[in-house]
Amino acid sequence: VSPGSAGKRSHSRRRKEEFEAAARSYEEYLTLWEELESMGRGEVPETPQAR
């Protein structure tokens, strides 16, 4: 095994971990958005206009 291929493997593993972390945070963002929408559908856009 050459040192170049070993470095590539660790780099791809680090990118995979970063991608999984980003996907996890994106899923959390989607769930939070769905909860906000279900709590009050028309309230979110109307709030700034009411003030």
pLDDT of residue 9: 66
CA angle, corner 19, sides to 15 and 23, nearest 5? Answer: 175
The model's pLDDT over 1-51, given as tens digits with 9 standing for 90+, comes to: 666 666 566 778 899 999 999 999 999 999 999 998 888 765 555 555 555
pTM of the shown model: 0.44
Q: Looking at 1-51, list the stretches that DSSP marks H as alpha helix, in order from N- to C-terminal side.
A: 3-39, 43-50
For the chain, give every domain's residue range.
Answer: 1-32
